[in-house]
């Protein structure tokens, strides 16, 4: 799953599409539709609206994972923090303000 070094968590090389969905939903994304084998989510923030596409595949890794992180509109640190269950208060406030 993941490694812990010196009190910090090391993100995994790949995640499942179900994990990706859990992460972006914890960051405030809302399911919009599914077209073929891709799920589409929308995340509203003060900066604008982000459209996130998640392929329904076994593993998501490499450049595809980087693209999903970029599409969420948050930093890698915030994305992986959400993976490990730590969503910063600033992101929670952004979610509250956008609804």
* Those residues with Cβ within 8 angstroms of residue 18's Cβ, 6 or more apart along the chain or in another chain: none
> Domains, the chain, ranges and CATH?
14-98 (3.30.920.30)
Q: What is the pLDDT of residues 42-98, one digit of tens each?
A: 998 888 899 999 999 879 998 999 999 999 999 998 899 889 888 777 776 766 565
How far is the CA of 54 from the CAs of 7, 14, 28, 60, 98, in angstroms?
A: 30, 14, 15, 9, 22
Q: What is the pLDDT of residues 21-43, one digit of tens each?
A: 999 999 999 999 999 999 999 99
């Amino acid at each position: 799953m993941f490694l812990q070094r010196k009190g910090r968590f090391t993100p995994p090389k790949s995640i499942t599409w179900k994990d990706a969905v859990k992460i972006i939903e914890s960051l405030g994304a809302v399911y919009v539709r599914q077209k073929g084998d891709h799920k589409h989510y929308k995340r509203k923030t003060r900066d604008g609206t982000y459209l996130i596409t998640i392929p329904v595949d076994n593993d998501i890794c490499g450049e595809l994972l980087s693209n999903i992180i970029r599409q969420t509109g948050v930093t890698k640190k915030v994305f992986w923090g959400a993976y490990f269950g730590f969503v910063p208060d600033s992101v929670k406030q952004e979610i509250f303000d956008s609804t």
